[in-house]
Amino acid sequence: MNWRLHPHYAPEDGGAGGGGDAPASAAPGRSGDTGANAGAAPGSAAPPAWAPPDFLPEGLRDVDVNKTFDKVAGDWKRLRDTVAALPQPPKSIDEYKFEPSDKVKPYVGDLAADPAFALMRDAALKAGVPAAQFSGVVGAFYEGLVEKGMAPAPYDAVKEQTSLLGPQAAAMTAQERGEAMKPIVMPLVEQIEGLERTSAFSSDPKVNKAAAAALAPLLDTADGVRALKALFALAPKQPGLNPGGAPATNLSPAQIKARMSDPRYDPSSHAYDPNFRNETMDLYRKTFA
């Protein structure tokens, strides 16, 4: 205990003791105040009244500190509960599901086999997109592409085949249309394959193969088939595209040997072309004799 503050302590200078004057705590302050501030040391300021921080919204303020705390605590709990109820991202991309609408379905095909869709799901998982929001975003994206004409038109095999076969194709079965298309498409397939085997596009195997692959998609559309037929019709005038029967010149030994593996060189092949075989044999004799 600090005895100097005890009311019965008598200082050595003969000041008031236990039975003397009233203690200083009961005496008026220097400014004449009484009560809470009456015992303040001379020259000291009274503690400021509590005020809520300026950053608090008006609804959380109160002149009473305890009431302010209660309001802040209640608001924090509501915020915590709201955040806890928000949808969370899935643990794997397999939880991202999307069922295209009837309008979108013809344009997207089989999304399960679409590598672009797999990348979209992977990006969503990395960004923390909840599964419920993923479906809505992807659906709106595809719907927008279709509505604005930005999605590639769905492939219609019946439409393409009918364009080449004529109106009677509408009454055919899929198998019948396929059989009717063979005489139209197969000669073009054989010519593309023959050009690749004979390195007609390039002496570089990679370039030669890529060039042949670039022609193959044309076989899927009626316009592409017409373009290939017109192109190959010019072949006799273009030695590099010679399908057989027209003079072929400036071929390397490797190209000549490749021609000998062409179905058109083989008498037992359905693509056999006697002109092509005779021309190849003549080239062989001139080159290797």
Tens of each residue's pLDDT in the chain, 289 residues? 444 444 444 455 544 444 444 444 444 444 444 444 444 555 566 667 888 888 888 888 888 888 888 888 888 888 888 877 777 888 898 889 889 998 898 888 888 888 888 999 999 999 999 988 898 899 999 999 999 999 888 888 899 999 999 999 889 998 999 889 988 988 888 888 888 887 888 889 899 899 999 999 999 999 999 999 988 887 654 444 444 444 455 678 888 888 888 877 877 665 677 788 888 888 888 887 6
Determine the pLDDT at residue 245.
Answer: 41
pLDDT of 28: 44
Could you tell me if 110 and 196 lie in one domain? no
Q: Are residues 231 and 258 in the same domain?
A: yes
- How much is the pTM? 0.46
- Are 192 and 269 within one domain? yes
Whole-number pLDDT of residue 207? 92
Q: What is the pLDDT of residue 288?
A: 77
Same domain, 135 and 214: no
Q: Check residue 260 and report its DSSP letter.
A: T
Q: Are 130 and 85 in contact (CB under 8 A)?
A: no
Q: Are 126 and 191 members of one domain? A: no
CA 192, CA 72: separation in Å to the nearest integer?
78
- The pLDDT, as a whole number, for residue 218 is 93
- Domain boundary pick from 83, 118, 137: 83
Domain-embedded: residue 156: no
Q: Which domain holds residue 222?
A: 175-288
Confidence at residue 82, expressed as pLDDT on a 0 to 100 scale: 81
Q: How far apart are CA 86 and CA 221, in angstroms?
A: 49
Residues 179 and 131 reside in one and the same domain:
no
- The verdict on 132 and 187 lying in the same domain is no
CA distances 18 to 10, 23, 154, 276, Å, are 7, 9, 107, 138
Give the type of residue at 39.
G
Q: Distance between CA 235 and CA 242 in Å, rounded?
A: 5
Residue 183 and residue 242 share a domain: yes
Give the span between the Cα atoms of 239 and 7, in whole angstroms.
127
> Quick check: is 3 in a domain?
no
